[in-house]
């Protein structure tokens, strides 16, 4: 009977299977296949690509991906021990393999798109989810359109919605980014048609005019008013809200662009001077999102020191009875939420004129995730609920805001009896359970 004497080695020093698997990642040890990837030179020239090699193990890859399983063990199994992949970058493939060997991945802005592509190609859904989460956490005004295109390509509704959220909340930064001048016309049109944009209309027009100039250059046509109008199209031009601009801005910026016809210019000038007797042909109200940008916040508490919140499955009505000494428009509220920022909460809002119990507004139901917020009473966890339209509140009239919330449980802090906010005195009747009211004068 043979007896084998083996010294302590890398296996005995790594008791967990995962640690041993990590050890052989990108390692020639036991490797039975190599992947060859072309890499651009330091100047990014396509013609001079050096070859990089990643050693791998067919069994490990087949365990992690049905595509690799078919490639190595299927009826038409690959028999070569060296495989060239022309459709990926070295760093992206390395991270795909790292994840398949260790459940770990090092994502960054330069590799995440490539890793996502490979995760989809080789059917590794858990890695694709991590890529989507990374993108969602790192969307900003400078990259929102490139991330948006990937979110659409891979049908991530959650990421698409988050991109629109960034576009709406940071519109001016978004349209001044380098990406904006290169987006597809269809996407540009969708952006301009949105009500939720938070930007002065003249600034949006400047960005659209720059896009049209760049597009004319891309198409090799003369950059003039007629060409710019042609590349924009009538639907997009008619979506711009010229009547809400300042007359000075219209005269100094829009007229110089030469995009509008003489008749359209006359129509807008009549709008400015309130002498128009027929529709302007352009939207003549500010975008609701722009209006909300200038809302004031009224905090209904002095301190949140006694505030306690936890997750639950029950439903409860939050309410706030109050009156104001000046006419205002109420645009939304902040509500208390769970400390778990990923916790979704079902919310329904009622707005009632308490004098005659008349319901004057019903906000749409929806799911909201709470985050860390702060007002003058201190930090708290909560979430914002904006109404579909502002509600006019008449002074010296009692109103009640009601919010039916499912998913959290509260011990209420003590609120104030009255408070002065931006020149408006809010007087509260009874126990209020809504921390902030969002309004304009």
> What does the pLDDT look like over 179-226, one tens digit per residue?
999 999 999 999 999 988 988 899 999 999 999 999 999 999 999 999
Residues spanned by CATH 2.60.120.820 within the chain?
Answer: 295-440
Please tell me the predicted confidence (pLDDT) of residue 161: 87
Q: Which two tokens stand for residue 356?
A: 């005659």
Residues spanned by CATH 3.30.710.10 within the chain?
Answer: 17-133
CATH architecture of 295-440: Sandwich (2.60)
Phi and psi at 19, nearest 5°, equal: -65, -40
What kind of fold does domain 17-133 have according to CATH?
Answer: Potassium Channel Kv1.1; Chain A (3.30.710)
Q: Which two tokens stand for residue 142?
A: 């400078």
| pTM of the predicted model as reported, rounded to 2 decimal places | 0.62
Please tell me the predicted confidence (pLDDT) of residue 38: 76
pLDDT in tens, 262-308: 999 998 888 888 777 666 789 888 787 765 556 788 888 887 765 55
Please tell me the predicted confidence (pLDDT) of residue 343: 46
CA-closest candidate to residue 200, choices 144, 235, 241: 241
pLDDT < 50 positions in the chain: 46-47, 342-343
Name residues whose C-beta falls within 8 Å of residue 276's C-beta, 6 or more positions apart in sequence. Answer: 267, 270
Please tell me the predicted confidence (pLDDT) of residue 317: 75
């Amino acid at each position: 009977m043979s007896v084998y004497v083996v010294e302590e080695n890398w296996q005995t020093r790594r008791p967990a299977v995962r640690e041993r698997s990590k050890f052989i990642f990108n390692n020639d040890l036991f490797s039975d296949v190599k992947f060859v990837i072309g890499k651009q030179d330091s100047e990014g020239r396509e013609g001079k690509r050096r070859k990089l090699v990643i050693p791998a193990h067919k069994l490990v890859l087949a365990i992690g991906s049905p595509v690799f399983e078919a490639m190595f063990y299927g009826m038409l199994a690959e028999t070569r021990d060296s495989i060239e992949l022309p459709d990926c970058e070295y760093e992206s493939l390395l991270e795909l393999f790292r994840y398949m060997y260790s459940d770990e991945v090092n994502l960054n802005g330069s590799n995440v798109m490539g890793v996502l592509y490979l995760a989809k190609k080789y059917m590794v859904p858990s890695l694709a989810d991590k890529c989507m989460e990374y993108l969602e956490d790192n969307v900003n005004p400078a990259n929102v359109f490139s991330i948006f295109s990937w979110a659409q390509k891979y049908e991530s509704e959650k990421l698409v919605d988050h991109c629109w959220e960034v576009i709406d909340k940071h519109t001016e930064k978004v349209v001044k980014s380098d990406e904006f001048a290169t987006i597809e016309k269809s996407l540009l049109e969708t952006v301009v048609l949105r009500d939720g944009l938070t930007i002065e209309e003249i600034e949006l027009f400047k960005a659209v005019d720059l896009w049209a100039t760049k597009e004319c250059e891309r198409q090799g046509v003369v950059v003039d008013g007629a060409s710019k109008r042609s590349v924009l199209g009538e639907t997009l031009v008619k979506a711009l809200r010229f009547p809400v601009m300042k007359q000075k801005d219209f005269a100094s910026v829009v007229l110089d662009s030469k995009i509008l016809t003489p008749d359209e210019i006359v129509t807008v000038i009549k709008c400015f001077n309130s002498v128009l007797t027929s529709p302007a042909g352009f939207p003549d109200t500010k975008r609701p999102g722009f209006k909300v940008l200038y809302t004031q916040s009224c905090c209904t508490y002095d301190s949140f020191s006694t505030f306690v919140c936890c997750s639950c499955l029950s439903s409860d009505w939050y309410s706030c009875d109050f009156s104001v000494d000046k006419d205002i428009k109420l645009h939304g509220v902040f509500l208390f939420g769970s400390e778990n920022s990923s916790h979704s909460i079902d919310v329904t809002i009622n707005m009632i004129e308490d004098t005659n119990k008349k319901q004057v507004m019903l906000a749409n139901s929806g799911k909201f995730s709470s985050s860390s917020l702060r007002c003058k009473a201190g930090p708290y966890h909560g979430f914002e609920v904006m109404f579909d339209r502002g509600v006019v509140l008449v002074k010296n009239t009692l109103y009640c805001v009601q919010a039916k919330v499912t998913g959290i449980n509260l011990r209420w802090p003590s609120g104030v009896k009255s408070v002065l906010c931006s020149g408006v005195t809010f007087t509260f009747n009874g126990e209020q359970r809504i921390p902030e009211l969002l309004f304009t004068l």
